Amino acid sequence: MTYLPVVSSRPEPVRVALIGAGWMGAFHARSLATRISAASLVAIADPAIETAQSLAAELGVARVTADAADLFADPQIDAVVIAGPARFHAALSIDAVRAGKHVFCEKPGALDLDEFARVDQAVAEAGVHWQIGFNRRYAADFLAARRDIAAGAVGTPQLLHSLTRDPGTGRIPNAGRVPQGTIFLETLIHDFDALNWFNSGAEPVSVHVTADALVEPSFKDAGFLDTAVVTIRYSNGAIAVAEANFSALYGYDVRGEVFGSAGMVQAGRATETAAVRYGAAGLSADTPRLNIELFAGAYTDELADFADHVRARRDGTASPEHGVPLTPGLDDARRALAVARACIQSVETGLPAAVSRSEARA
């Protein structure tokens, strides 16, 4: 018997390399290797080479290096996922796009607006796709809420609320080593993007912050903050509140709400499912304890969207459509970072601070 030849119409997967094999990088690696058909994980880079080798062995990845420059020089790599520490995001993005690689970068993308402007310019010159990891947009309930807002379900937004309460034990290990501004640049930045996304068409104008070290008060004098409430005024008059705390004993809690002239929409819940137990001791429900539990699908879907955009550019096909603006890019990253930087200024002065309106590169 002779087998018949088969010509596949399935597009070639995007060949992706991972930079940073830590907690979030490892989850992204597993998604790229096992859960996203449009992508193929072909290399891993991390200065902690044993960590990279262990992850590569688990996933059957043949190429491992301690130096991300090896990935940029490899013509067989189409794109990179940057999941290393925030202080390296901008430099890695610039080096990657100058090498012609498409980039998915975890938040914040840069630590200040001048640094981000250099990323923006490098991407423009390279003409590649650059996407940031604002995964909350891909969570089913947040996306459903955004579609309701676009359909007019809440009318004109007037009051908005977004919160992030990280799971904890009442203590924060290594609190003294947490970089100053982390609560704004790496935690609340997700809330800032969600609020900007929900209040589409309006610009954040000013912020006023109340923040403290309530979980680890002994580190406050060193500039550490673990609790914050941010009030944001928007150009359309809407008022938003974003809040965060680093130690919720009951689990990982992320929620959003938009109240407007015609109604209200909410997204997220503190419980893992809608199931509630009724017993002699009262009511109880399971709660998520990890980000990769609460947002497992969203983390996967954002990378699938990234791969689809890269493949569309490579193959000259139409970019994916989602019905509402979804894929977070350079301008979304800049706007959220501008809010975070204004928050840091407000903490330093104790006064409201203006949000930078410097436009993204034209």
* DSSP-derived pairing of the beta strands 253-260 and 263-267: antiparallel
pLDDT at 359: 46
Phi, psi of 153 (to 5 degrees): -65, -25
> Mind giving me the DSSP string for 204-254?
EEEEEEEEE-SSSGGGGGGT---EEEEEEEETTS-EEEEEEEEEETT--EE
CA distance 193 to 190: 5
Question: Can you tell me which residue has the tokens 């520490």?
Answer: 85
pLDDT digits 0-9 by tens, 262-287: 999 999 999 998 999 999 999 999 99
CA distance 183 to 100: 33
Asked if 319 and 312 touch (Cβ cutoff 8 Å), the reply is yes
If DSSP codes are grouped into helix, strand and coil, which group holds residue 19? strand
* DSSP-derived pairing of the beta strands 253-260 and 157-167: antiparallel
Helix (H) or strand (E) holding 268: none
CA distance 51 to 57: 10
Enter the tokens of residue 323.
Answer: 């019905």
Nearest residue to 211 (alpha-carbon basis) of 181, 232, 249, 172: 181
Question: Can you tell me which residue has the tokens 């009030």?
Answer: 231
Q: String of b and e for 93-118 (b: at least 16 CB within 10 Å)? A: bbbbbebebbbbbbbbbbbbeebbbe
**Residue ranges of the chain whose pLDDT lies below 50:** 359-362
CA distance 358 to 338: 9
pLDDT at 133: 98
Asked if 118 and 90 touch (Cβ cutoff 8 Å), the reply is yes
pLDDT at 57: 98
The CA distances from residue 221 to 34, 170, 181, 213, 228, in Å, are 45, 19, 14, 9, 16
pLDDT at 7: 73
pLDDT at 358: 60
Q: Which amino acid is at 247?
A: S
Nearest residue to 338 (alpha-carbon basis) of 123, 117, 180: 117
CA distance 123 to 188: 25
pLDDT at 4: 85
pTM for this structure?
Answer: 0.95
If DSSP codes are grouped into helix, strand and coil, which group holds residue 167? strand
Cis peptide before 173 (omega within 30 of 0): no
Handedness of CA 247, 248, 254, 260 (dihedral sign): negative
pLDDT digits 0-9 by tens, 300-311: 999 999 999 999
Q: What own/partner pairs with CB < 8 Å and gap ≥ 24 does 149-153 have?
A: 149/198, 149/200, 149/258, 149/260, 149/265, 150/200, 150/323, 150/324, 152/262, 153/262, 153/263, 153/265
Helix (H) or strand (E) holding 148: helix 140-150
Nearest residue to 46 (alpha-carbon basis) of 7, 84, 89, 96: 84
Enter the tokens of residue 275.
Answer: 């199931």
